[in-house]
Amino acid sequence: MSLPPLVEPAAELTKDEVVRYSRHLIIPDVGVDGQKRLKNAKVLVVGAGGLGSPALLYLAAAGVGTLGIVDFDVVDESNLQRQIIHGVSDVDKPKAVSAKESIAEINPYVTVNLHQEHLNSENALDIFRDYDLILDGTDNFATRYLVNDAAVLLGKPYVWGSIFRFEGQVSVFWEDAPDGKGLNYRDLYPEPPPPGMVPSCAEGGVLGVLCASIGSIMVTEAIKLLTGIGEPLLGRLMVYDALEMTYRTVKIRKDPEGEKITELIDYEAFCGVVSQDAQQAAAGSTITVQDLKAKIDSGEDFQLIDVREPHEYEIVKIPGSVLIPKDRILSGEALSELPQDKPIVLHCKSGGRSAEALAALHKAGFSDAVHVGGGVLGWARDIDPSLPTY
């Protein structure tokens, strides 16, 4: 279903803009009118990371007149494998600032607005309000539901993308779409998955070039919406499998039992980033990496268990740790392998997975088990900086 263009065309294109966008102008479906609409458009990109990087570069190259960037993070060396808007010289620089500088190199005619703050229920509506279209490339469910609900309340369309390992997904959501065709993210995912069920990219990894594949599709959808050409992915979920090199689409239908969105809520609580059981278990049974170092140095007899995945254990490990992946603990399969005659200390990458495993051990009777807040990343940061991080 084609949709009317989101924005009115700008008054004119300058001579330099005609030269710059000439390959667009000679496409009949875009033409001068479509390029003027892009020039007049205001697009907000949530996140200047894996998906935000190619999206921002191609939106700028396409001639979108105003780009907003929401990001409060700084560039880390581990970002450079996929976040192509940043370079080596940008490490430790705010991502939003780095992205703005790269955009200026791509297209100096683009106005860039920076929103260097954590997107939350208090500021989302104010940030979104002045934009025609939102692109959501975030990697956590709490922010995805926040973006969705804010867009619904403001009547804004948005393009959503997601990546994990070798697979990506893209769709368009617009509750107020014409002709009763409106859909929002909750029609696809009415409720978030249980805490710890779906690993983040930081835990599970992502093929770097997948970001370009999905990010470019997101920009394609944005251009179609802004100019009113083609059939956007409203009502369809596109799924890309890089290993099989297949694209398929799945129809999305309105959830007849979906509740009307009337306000923004506490999305961290709604998504339960860490389960209530894990929070309760960790509340009185968390030690620091410094505490762990003191235990090791004093010769205390305990079992240090790493609950990450084998491929993570190969990258970096705390000396003396034994690998038992979290899922084997949660299923009960590994309980017989745990020592009964000494205390157990669990750790993971940063503390989330070990808290989930800790809750399972407490329920199984290992009441004196503890876990390490900060995990192996905290160990590498504060105890042994010679170790790599990921």
Per-residue pLDDT tens over the stretch 91-139: 999 999 999 999 999 999 999 999 999 999 999 999 999 999 999 999 8
Whether residue 135 contacts residue 53, with contact meaning beta carbons closer than 8 Å, is answered with no
What are the structural domains, with CATH classification, of the chain? Answer: 15-271 (3.40.50.720), 276-382 (3.40.250.10)
161 Cβ contact list (under 8 Å, min separation 6): 51, 55, 135, 136, 137, 168, 169, 170, 214, 215, 217, 218
Give the phi and the psi of residue 212 in degrees, each rounded to 5.
Answer: -65, -40
pLDDT of residue 1: 65
Q: What angle do CA 272, 277, 283 make, to 5 degrees?
A: 100
Cα gap 25→9, rounded to integer Å? 14
Confidence at residue 328, expressed as pLDDT on a 0 to 100 scale:
95
- pLDDT score for 273: 66
Structure tokens at 110: 């683009």
46: left (phi over 0), alpha (psi -120 to 50) or beta: beta
Both structure tokens of 152: 């619904």
Ranges of the chain with pLDDT below 70: 1, 195-197, 272-273
Which amino acids are annotated catalytic?
Answer: 201, 348
